[in-house]
Amino acid sequence: FVARDYRLRRQQERRDRSCVMVYWLPLIFVSLMGLALLLYIILDGYDLGIGILLPLASDEEKDRMIEAIGPFWDANETWIVLGIGILLIAFPSAHGMILTHLYIPVTLMLFGLILRGVAFDFRVKVAAEYKSMWNKLFFVGSLLASMSQGWMLGAYVMGLETSMTSVAFSVAIALSLPAFYVVLGCGWLFIKSEGELYNKAARWARAAILPMGVGLFLISIATPIASSEIAAKWFTLPAAIGLMPIPLMTAAAFFTALWVLSRPQILQAGYGWIVFVCMVLMCLMMALGLAYSIFPDIVIGKMNIWESAASTASLQFALIGTALAVPMILFYTIFIYRIFYGKSQPLSYE
């Protein structure tokens, strides 16, 4: 009897541990995926924004802008690879559903990113008369990737529907996200540039921040109107009170950036970096709001994270590789940013 009771207790303990892993492993992976995509939006967002701004600069300033992103952009794009990789490994059902519905914008985004990569290298290797063509293609790739990402985000928030409402919402975000990237890119130029390019970044940011703010405000109003599930989460008590810090901090960050940009003396004193910090804070708040809006679903109204998760054994195995990869990518990213800290220098390939 003692041996039987011992075996029963051990079986119960194994079942309890299995239940814990079944619950927590998908949460760990979806959190890592969200972190990876958030870092991608912030880090690759500023160099996409600089790519969109490239046609507005002089030839010398174009080189300085490229130098401002050159050491970082490969590391920045690593995060989207990690995020999509986690989606494929940990949530294969959701991966198939999402990429099937977003096949066209994903393909266009990849074309844009490939075009950026090719143009980035070819602009310094071709004869001088062809350099302007590759600069223009770098701009096209940046704009195409940015708008595709906005379309994907809008379609995802609408639960991958194909209705006119979903299409209109996707178009709105496809137009607003590049404006956000432009302001983010200007914030990065405040950190990395000086002189006339710094002053031009201030003018570009002033021109883009109001359209960006209006676009994001209209999207924040349209989202609960277009999605009853999201509206129920945000406008029922007591959740509505607890969620107030998210829109308030987003608005505070936006108006702080607007105030800094409207004060040339503050920018000339070297505080333009505040704009970049405010954009990062806005991105973080919007990511938290989106995470709350869709949790526990991974595809809104269709599939939650536990339904789409791979088997527990597969997640345990994948967790080992993820636990090794994520710190390495973080270390590499921090190392690169530390090495190339400070203002950019004149571009040289010698």
Show pLDDT as tens, one digit a residue, over the chain (350 residues). Answer: 545 555 656 655 555 555 667 778 888 899 999 899 899 999 888 989 999 999 988 888 888 888 888 888 888 888 888 888 888 888 888 888 888 888 899 999 999 999 988 888 887 777 677 788 888 999 999 999 999 998 988 888 887 877 787 788 888 888 888 999 999 999 999 998 888 888 999 999 999 998 888 888 877 877 777 677 777 778 887 877 888 888 899 999 999 999 999 998 988 888 889 999 999 999 999 888 888 888 888 888 788 888 888 888 888 888 888 888 889 888 988 888 888 887 776 655 55
299: Cα within 13 Å, side-chain hemisphere: 23
**5: Cβ–Cβ under 8 A, 6 or more apart, which residues?**
none
Dihedral pair phi/psi, residue 162, rounded to 5°: -115, 20
Q: Round to the nearest angstrom and report the end-to-end CA distance of the chain.
A: 80
In the chain, where do the E strands start and end?
297-299, 303-304
Q: How far apart are CA 212 and CA 206, in angstroms?
A: 10
Residue type present at position 8:
L
**Is residue 7 exposed (0-12), middle (13-18) or buried (19+ Cβ within 10 Å)?**
exposed
- Global model pTM greater than 0.95: no
Report the candidate in 110, 89, 88, 113 with the shortest Cα–Cα distance to residue 98: 88
**Structure tokens that stand for 149 in this block:** 């990402």
Identify whether the C-beta of residue 340 lies closer than 8 Å to the C-beta of residue 71. yes
